[in-house]
Chains A and B, each alone.
Chain A
Amino acid sequence: MTSRKLKVLTAKPGLDGHDRGIKYVNRVFRDAGYEVIYIGNAMPKEIVRASIDEDVDIIGLSILSSSYKILIPEFLDIVEEKGIKDRMLLLGGIILPKDQELYKKRGFAGVYGPGTNVHEVVKFINKHFNISS
C-alpha cells in the first residue's frame, strides 16, 4: 500500500436523483480515510472519463432506477474498452439478484442492495487494499 489516500470516484449513472444512499456512502468512505470525488449524475462514458482523469483506485456507482439494465452494461463495455478493469468497481442500489450475479461476473467486486451495512463494505475494501482499519 502506498502512502497516498485511497481515491474513490462515486457517481449516479443516468438521471436517477435518489442520492440519499450515495451521500451516506460518501460520508462513510470519507470517515474511513478515503479521498472521495462525487460527480453526481453522469452518463457512463463521463464516469469512465472522470475516473481516468482522476486516476482513482475505486469507482462506486449508485443507481435506484431500473435504467441500470442499460447503463451498467454500457459502463462495463467502456471500462473494458478503456482498459481500466484493474480499478475496483462497486455498485449499489436496486439491482435484481440475477443481474447482481451477472455484473459480478463481468467485473464488479461488489454489488450491494438496500439495507447493506456500509461499514462492512469499508472492511471489504480495506482488506482488498491491505489497509489496517
Chain B
Amino acid sequence: MTEKKKKKKTSSLQKLKETMINYIKNIKSYEDWDRFVQMFMMKFPERKKKFETVSGIEIKRLYTPRDIEDLDYGRDLGYPSVPPFTRGVYPTMHRGRFWTQRLIAGTGTPEDTNKRLKFLIEQGQTGLNIIYDLPSHRGIDPDDERAKGEIGKDGVNCCCLEDMRAIFKDIDYQKYSVSQITAIHVLCMYIAMAELDGVDISTLRGTVQSDMFNAIQGCGALASDITRRGKGAIEYAIDICVDIIEFCSKYMPKWYPISIVGRNIREAGADAVSEIAIAFSNGLAFVDKAIERGLNINEFGERLSFMFCCENDFFEEVAKFRAARRVWYKLMKEKGATNPLAMLVRMHVQNSSIAYTAQQPLNNIIRGTLHTAAAVMGGAQSLHTNAYDEAWGLPTEKAAMIALRTQQIIAEESGIMDTIDPLAGSYYVEALTNELEGRILAMVREMQEKGGSVVLTENGWIANLLERNAYKYHRAIETGERVVVGVNKYVLKDEKLDIEIHEIPEEVAQHQIARVKRVRAERDPQKWKEAMDNLRRVCDAKVKDRSVNIMRPLIEAYKAGATLGECYDAIWPPHRFMDE
C-alpha cells in the first residue's frame, strides 16, 4: 500500500469512528440503537446471516425488557414448588440437597456390574442406575439363538433372580435410590429379591423406566417385537405399564413406576421442542389409561417421573427444562388434577450422546461439563453424565470416574446451584422459555388432535418426524453449517485412537449361558410349573380384561426360578395380537 493510500484509509476510519461516537452519544431508544447497529454492520458484518438455536428458533441480536413485556411473574414463573413450577419443583432445590448423582452402570456379567456399582459408590455416587443388555431388554434368555453376540455388551445381562442377586451382592440397596433402565421384568426380579431378603418393599426408593413408547420411538428396532404385532399390541403394552403404576401406588409409595422418556426420542432425531412434546403426548397416553383403570390422578400423578436430554445449546436447554415444567402443569390441570404435587415434572437428565464425538474423544469431557451445568441450572433432580469414551463403547472405570467428578466439581466447586433457578429474569432465557412453551404446547395439541401417541406411533408419524429431523441435523454437519469440533472443523490429520477402550470378553456369554441352564436344572419343577401356569392364565385373562394386574404372578414366577425368556413369552406369546 502506498503511503498516500494508507493515509487515506486511516483518515476514513478516523471519520467513521467519530461518526459512531456521535451516534452513540445520541442513542436513546432501541430504535436508535438498532439503526446504529445497522450502520456498524455495514463495515463490520456479523459472523452469520441468521442465528438459530439447535432446534431452529431464530435468536435475536439482543433481548431487552420488550421481549418479555407480557411476562407476569405470578402467572408465568411463580415460586419454586408453586405452580406453574417454572422455577423448580422443590422449595429449596439444590440448596437443600444436590441432585442425585447416578451414572449408568451395566456391563458384562452381573458380577462385573456389581464391581462397577461398588466402585461408583466408593467414589461418592449418590444413586444407582443400572442398564441392561439388549437380550435382557427384549426378553430373550442368553442361550437363545437371537442373543448371539449381544450378551453383556450394551449393559448387564440379567435373566433371572440369581442374576439380580449377583448385581446387588453386598450392596445395601435399600439405602439407595435405584434406577432401573428397563421395564416390568427386572422390576419384578428386584421386588422378588427384596421380599426374599425380608425387605419391606414399601421402603424401596427408585425408578423403573418402563415407558414402552421410549423403546419403540427412541430405540427403534429394540421394540420391533411390539410393532411387528397387529393392532392392540401397543395398547396392551401401555396397560402393562399401568399395572406397574397401580402396583407401586398400592405397595411401593416411594417408587417411581414410570419414567416418561424424552431423552432417547431426542437422540433418535427430535429437537428440543419435539423431545418434550412427544414425551408429554406419550405421558398423556399413560395418564388416560391410568384414569381408565380407575386410578386417581391426584395420587398417581405424584409418582410420574421424566427423563430428558441435555444437548449442546446451553440456553435453549435451560429454557426447555423450565418450559417443560410449565407445560406439564397445564396439561395435568386440564386432565383434572388438583393436587399440585401431581403436576410436577421431576426429571432425570442424561446428556446427549449424539453430541459426543469419536474423534478427539477427550473433548467430550468438556461437552459433558456444559451439558451437566445446563441441566443443573435447568433444575434437574437426577443426572447421568456420559463418559468421554462412550462414542467407542461402554465406559472404562477411569472414564466413568471423570464423568462422576464432572458432577461433583459442579456441585462442590462451581456455586452455580447455590441460588434457585439462577438464569430466571434473563431477557433471553425468559423469552426463550416462552417461545419453547408455546411451540411445545402447540405440538402436543396437534398430536392429540391427530389421535394421540398410540395412533401416531402405529402410523409412523412420529418415526417420520424424527427421521426428517435427524436428516436435517446431520446434513448440516456435512455441509459445515453446524460445526462439530474435531469432526468438520479443527480436524486432526491421521488421528489415531489413543484412549483405552472397555471391551467385553466373550466369556461373559458362556458364563451367563451356563448360569441360566443351571438355574433351569436346579429349580423345583413343580413350583415353577405352578407359577408359570398361573402367570400365563393371568396374562391371557389380561388380554380380555385390562384391569387384571400381572405384577404379583410375575414376581412369584421369578421367585420360583422362572427365566426372563419364559416370562416374556407368557406375556407376549408369539401369536398375541398377530391376528386379532
Contact = CB atoms under 8 A, between A and B. Distances in A.
A3 to B, nearest CB: 28
A82 B365 CA distance: 46
Interface stretch (B339-347, B400-408, B497-505, B552-560): B497-505
Contacts of A24: 470-471, 474
B150 A18 contact: no
B470 A15 contact: no
Interface string B262-273: 000001110000
Interface stretch (B90-98, B219-227, B302-310): B219-227
B138 interface: yes
Nearest to B228: A40
Contacts of B465: none
A70 B148 contact: yes
Contacts of B497: 96-97
B359 interface: yes
Contact of B358 (A17, A69, A71, A113): A113
Given A41-B224, A66-B504, A114 B358 contact: yes
Interface in B422-476: 466-467, 470-471, 474
B221 A41 contact: yes
Q: By DSSP majority rule, is chain B's interface helix, strand, loop, or mixed?
A: loop
Given A14-B134, A14-B150, A17-B221, A119 B470 contact: no
B148 A14 contact: yes
B221 A15 contact: yes
Interface in A67-111: 67-71, 74, 94, 96-97
Interface string B462-497: 000011001100100010000010011000000011
B149 A71 contact: yes
B135 A15 contact: yes
Nearest to B154: A65
B253 interface: no
Contact of A66 (B138, B153, B220, B221): B153
A120 to B, nearest CB: 9
A118 interface: yes
Nearest to B474: A24
Instruction: Categorize the interface residue count of chain B.
Output: 35 or more
A27 B467 contact: yes
B112 to A, nearest CB: 14
Interface string B1-32: 00000000000000000000000000000000
B484 A71 contact: no
A97 B393 CA distance: 13
Contact of A115 (B135, B140, B153, B487): B487
A65 B134 contact: yes
A12 interface: yes
A16 to B, nearest CB: 7
Contact of B470 (A14, A20, A41, A68): A20
A115 B484 contact: yes
Interface in B133-162: 134-135, 138, 140, 145-150, 153-154
Interface string B259-289: 0000000011100000000000000000000
Contacts of A133: none
Interface string A20-37: 100110010000000000
B392 interface: yes
A117 interface: yes
Contacts of B466: 20
A40 B501 CA distance: 28
A27 B357 CA distance: 22
Contacts of B359: 115
Interface in B98-142: 134-135, 138, 140
Given A24-B471, A70-B148, A15 B222 contact: yes
Contact of B149 (A20, A70, A94, A118): A70
A100 to B, nearest CB: 10
Contact of A20 (B215, B223, B268): B268
Contact of A16 (B134, B358, B393): B134
Contacts of A69: 149, 506
A122 to B, nearest CB: 11
A43 interface: yes
Nearest to A66: B153
B171 interface: no
Given A65-B134, A94-B392, A96-B392, A18 B148 contact: no
A57 interface: no
B150 A15 contact: yes
Contacts of B82: none
A99 to B, nearest CB: 10
Max count, chain B CB within 10 A of own CB: residue among A18, A20, A24, A40: A20
Contact of A23 (B135, B147, B470): B470
Most B CB within 10 A of own CB, among A24, A66, A117: A66
B354 interface: yes
Given A12-B221, A18-B219, A20-B470, A67 B354 contact: no
Contact of B269 (A20, A74, A113): A20
Contacts of A118: 474, 478
23 contacts: A14-B150, A15-B135, A16-B134, A17-B220, A17-B222, A19-B268, A20-B269, A20-B466, A23-B471, A24-B474, A27-B467, A43-B146, A66-B153, A66-B503, A67-B148, A67-B154, A70-B149, A74-B149, A94-B391, A96-B501, A114-B358, A115-B359, A115-B488
Given A14-B149, A97-B496, 10 more contacts: A12-B221, A17-B134, A17-B219, A19-B220, A19-B221, A20-B268, A41-B224, A43-B146, A65-B149, A67-B134
Which 8 pairs show the lowest CB-CB distances between chains A and B? Answer: A70-B149, A17-B222, A67-B149, A19-B220, A15-B134, A41-B221, A17-B219, A17-B221
